[in-house]
Structure 1
Amino acid sequence: MKKYLLCSVVIFATGCTSVATAPRPNNYYSPVNENSSEEPLFGATGVALADKDIERILNYRLTLPTQNRIAILTLSGKSDWRHYSNDFTQLNEAIATDFIGQLRASPRVYDASFLPSMLVPEQRTVPYLREAAARYQADLLLAYRSECRTFEKYKFIDPNETKAYCSVEAVLLDVRSGIVPFTVVSTNEFIARKQPDDTNFNETIKKAELAAVAKSLKETATQLSMFLKNIDTVK
């Protein structure tokens, strides 16, 4: 079913970009001060950090267990298209399943799953999200949001064709320390043409957007896996 849906609209990928965090060089850290204090890196919420605390945060060397659990949180609002038809519901579920599978393929990840909705706090600030992930016993929290934009100019040229781009922005939070060691923004551009079985042009656009988001999520998982390979293991 997923293959049918993705093929029911003609999509031409015209370009993609992916910008991710680069690992810190080993010679960046000061051996004397490296993770030497048992004090929390981040104090009370809303309190400005002192210079010495900022120095400790910048000099913190992240280490992770050999294998980790990743809690996933989608910050984008749920689209009404999810309930447009059973096909769209299955396509959204397939995208989520593929994304989780790609994350679990990393040798540093033993589990990747969505943070249960009943644990997601109303105030989605870092301290509250960190606490929610800790209750879920997740080592890492991966939060992401997607955004798509359509260029109306192409519709005037050809009413059955559209050009748009979708981007996925993701941040990784280390639950133990509160550090955000990794971010990535992946953008995919595409051209879509309406097919005879599409009910309307909006449906054409949405199918193409979902395909572009799926590709961006795949690139996000790939970049994260590469990043995790370079993180030291807890001794």
Structure 2
Amino acid sequence: MTKYLIVIIAILVTGCATVATSHRPSDYYKAGGNEANNGPLFGSTGESLGDIDIDRILNYELKLPAQNRIAILKLSNDSYWRHYSNDFTQLNETIARDFVGQLRESERVYDASFLPSMLVPEQRTVPYLREAAARYQADLLLAYRSSCRTFEKYKFIDPNETKAYCSVEVVLLDVRSGIVPFTVVSSNEFSARKELGDTNFNETIKKAEIAAVAESLKDSATQLTSFLSSIGTL
């Protein structure tokens, strides 16, 4: 475990770029917009929305409880690397704990935890995910996925060096209303060299990817907690 942590610290992560949701102007909303109609903002699955419904959704001003539970759902799959080495498994679990811990530091969050796998629906559409989060009594559902791309041309320059680009996309869903008030995409470019302890070059690449994803998750959590601090209270 220590060997992997030392290597990850030595990986160079550069070119961080983050695009997050901007706050709406305070004068955007119509007076009494939330009370105009007490019916649900979104109809049943498969129903298209009319102009009046769309106007209500656009005019909906989100407010949250003073303290919230966030259910977290990871949409991307890295099961192969989780079973490749116990060190990788421990690293991924450490990154997840750090991400959850950072969310829990927000004064608007009393609990942040992963949505139990038994509740995750086979159809991962917004209505079904919203229902699963409601069963978990979560106020908010945070779904995220990560993706990485390796620049193959650098292997021709130096077979022991890699450069790649990793992105983490985060979407926040308000379980009560079905509104998605916040999104953020955080990307990092990284480079790494194969170390003596690496079994193969793929291992080098994966360790670098894990470091970049960890950095992107950290930045995404920072953006999210800042957003939550500015939301009105129910």
Whether the 8 Å CA contact 2:143–2:171 is kept in 1: the answer is yes
**Equivalent residue number for residue 140 of structure 2:** 140
Deviation of 1:225 (Å)? 0.4
Deviation of 1:49 (Å)? 0.5
**Equivalent residue number for residue 95 of structure 1:** 95
Give the aligned length: 233
SS state at 1:27 partner: coil
Unaligned runs of 5+ in 2: none
**Equivalent residue number for residue 72 of structure 1:** 72
Deviation of 1:6 (Å)? 3.0
Unaligned runs of 5+ in 1: none
SS state at 2:197 partner: coil
**Equivalent residue number for residue 8 of structure 1:** 7
Distance, in Å, in 2 between the alignment partners of 1:70 and 1:233 is 16
Whether the 8 Å CA contact 2:33–2:61 is kept in 1: the answer is no
Distance, in Å, in 2 between the alignment partners of 1:25 and 1:14 is 33
Distance, in Å, in 1 between the alignment partners of 2:173 and 2:51 is 22
Deviation of 1:85 (Å)? 1.3
Whether the 8 Å CA contact 1:6–1:211 is kept in 2: the answer is no
Distance, in Å, in 2 between the alignment partners of 1:102 and 1:69 is 14
The 3 A distance-change label for structure 1 pair 35 and 183 is farther
Instruction: Give runs of aligned pairs for residues 114-193 of structure 1, distance below 5 A.
Output: 114-193=114-193
Deviation of 1:46 (Å)? 1.0
Q: Give aligned-pair identity as a percent.
A: 74
Distance, in Å, in 2 between the alignment partners of 1:122 and 1:34 is 32
SS state at 1:47 partner: coil
SS state at 1:132 partner: helix
Q: TM-score, normalised on structure 1? A: 0.97
Whether the 8 Å CA contact 1:166–1:187 is kept in 2: the answer is yes
Deviation of 1:25 (Å)? 1.2
Whether the 8 Å CA contact 1:41–1:57 is kept in 2: the answer is yes
Whether the 8 Å CA contact 1:169–1:186 is kept in 2: the answer is yes
1:28-65 CA distance string (max 9 Å, x none): 00014334321000011111101000000000000000
1:82 and 2:82 are equivalent in the alignment: yes
Distance, in Å, in 2 between the alignment partners of 1:118 and 1:151 is 37
**Equivalent residue number for residue 226 of structure 1:** 226
Whether the 8 Å CA contact 1:8–1:197 is kept in 2: the answer is no
Distance, in Å, in 1 between the alignment partners of 2:32 and 2:233 is 19
Distance, in Å, in 1 between the alignment partners of 2:223 and 2:81 is 29
Q: TM-score, normalised on structure 2? A: 0.97
User: How well do the aligned residues superpose, as a CA RMSD in angstroms?
Assistant: 1.0
SS state at 1:192 partner: strand
Whether the 8 Å CA contact 1:146–1:167 is kept in 2: the answer is yes
1:152-199 CA distance string (max 9 Å, x none): 001110000000011000100000000000000000100110011111
